[in-house]
Amino acid sequence: MATLTLTLKEELELNGRERGSEMVLSIGSVTEAYHRIITCPANNDTTIATFQTAVHTSDNAIDLEDAKYIRVTNLDAANPVVLSLQISNDEDGAADASTSISLAAGMSYIMGSPHETIACDDDSAAIITDAALHDLESILVDPLGNAVVVEVFILS
């Protein structure tokens, strides 16, 4: 087993004073790593990761309950992408809802476990509590009108 050490460091001097910070997180008991650099063709949604209750239930599936760290980085120097986080409401391996996030050039999206950690509500702005959170079923990239390269890194 291995341990990932993640260091997030922000350096900013503003008005002569240091305003940045540094956070270090260790994620232990890592036994699997999924790492890909993917060219997403212009105007085509590209599935970059799929999470299921068992790895044999879908091509290239990652075990939903074992995954503990997910990072997607837009490696393009100029163009944004839209990440579509596909949500399974009932652990049946199919997406029932989605939420989208714009990821600017050079930026990363990081999350922990995909198991019972995400939800969306399209009819109110109410906070969704822990009991109502669902599973991340997959991550899709919409590169809009440009071919864009993204990196995905997932640890279990």
What pLDDT was estimated at residue 17?
95
Where does the pLDDT of residue 131 fall: very low under 50, low under 70, confident under 90, or very high at 90 and above?
Answer: confident
Q: Mean pLDDT for the chain?
A: 94
CATH 2.60.120 in the chain, residues?
Answer: 32-155
Q: Please tell me the distance from the alpha carbon of residue 73 to that of residue 19, in angstroms, as a whole number.
A: 25
DSSP class of 56: G
3-state helix, strand, coil in the chain (%, to 5): 5, 55, 45
Rounded CA separation 106/117 (Å)? 25
b/e per residue, 68-107, with b = 16+ CB within 10 A? Answer: bbbebbbebeebbbebbbbbbeeeebebebeeeeebeeee
Q: Three-class SS of residue 132?
A: helix
Q: Do residues 113 and 82 lie in contact, with contact meaning Cβ atoms separated by under 8 Å?
A: no
Q: What residue has token string 């997180």?
A: 25
Domain 32-155: assigned CATH number: 2.60.120
Decide if 82 contacts 144 (C-beta within 8 A): yes
156 is written with which tokens?
């279990």
| pLDDT given for residue 109 in this prediction | 98
Q: pTM of the entire structure?
A: 0.94
